[in-house]
Chain A
Amino acid sequence: SQTIHQWPATLVQPVGSPLSLECTVEGTSNPNLYWYRQAAGRGLQLLFYSVGIGQISSEVPQNLSASRPQDRQFILSSKKLLLSDSGFYLCAWDRGYGYTFGSGTRLTVV
């Protein structure tokens, strides 16, 4: 069966520090991968999506970046965090038959 792992679950980082969130998928190959952010009480905002290794599309210009070094690995990064980067980050995958989400990472930038 397919599973998606996302870590860490919570993270508190100072302004200006780097960020690396990782997401891995098991039990499938060549998935579409997505990073979403959900601000408190708000809807989902698509940040990045990837249809293959090394292929990244950015939906919202910001100080975040994403990479897909392996078929089932998706990484969200920042060189210098801003207060506005705080939020709930969700990774998801699909192959045209519906989305499966990870459990999310709660990021607080202080």
Chain B
Amino acid sequence: KQEVTQIPAALSVPEGENLVLNCSFTDSAIYNLQWFRQDPGKGLTSLLLIQSSQREQTSGRLNASLDKSSGRSTLYIAASQPGDSATYLCAVPNTNAGKSTFGDGTTLTVKP
């Protein structure tokens, strides 16, 4: 059974800092990994989707990497801003019917 862990559960940084969020998974037989952002009381917004054949994906100040062999993905946020404050979740699909396993998320606070 796939298990997804995100550490730390919460992170507080000053504005402008570069930061890395971590996502670990136990079963490396995945075909993609997806990072989401969730603002309080809102749905999940997809940030990046990395296919298993890719090592990384970039969107603006965000860069996600994937290392299947070690069961890890990282989300790098450059030059953090207060507007980046949110909960970030990663998800990996299970082999059964496309269901995904989600991490519990890292709640990021960027202080002005």
Contacts and interface: CB of A to CB of B under 8 A. Distances in A.
Contacts of A57: 97
Given A32-B97, A34-B99, A43-B105, A99 B43 contact: no
B1 to A, nearest CB: 12
B108 interface: no
A44 interface: yes
Given A42-B104, A43-B102, A90 B97 contact: no
Interface string A37-76: 0000011101001010000010000000000000000000
Contacts of B97: 32, 49, 51, 57
- Kindly name the residue among B31, B43, B98 whose own CB sees the greatest number of chain A CB atoms within 10 A: B43
Interface in B75-89: 89
Nearest to B102: A44
Interface string B35-46: 010000111111
Interface in A83-104: 88, 90, 92, 94, 96-104
Interface of B is mostly: strand
A97 B36 CA distance: 14
Contacts of B42: 103-104
Contacts of A99: 34, 36, 44, 46, 91, 100
Contact of A98 (B34, B89, B103, B104): B34
A92 B46 CA distance: 11
B32 interface: yes
A81 B100 CA distance: 27
Contacts of A51: 97-98
A34 B93 CA distance: 13
6 contacts: A46-B99, A49-B97, A51-B98, A97-B49, A100-B46, A101-B44
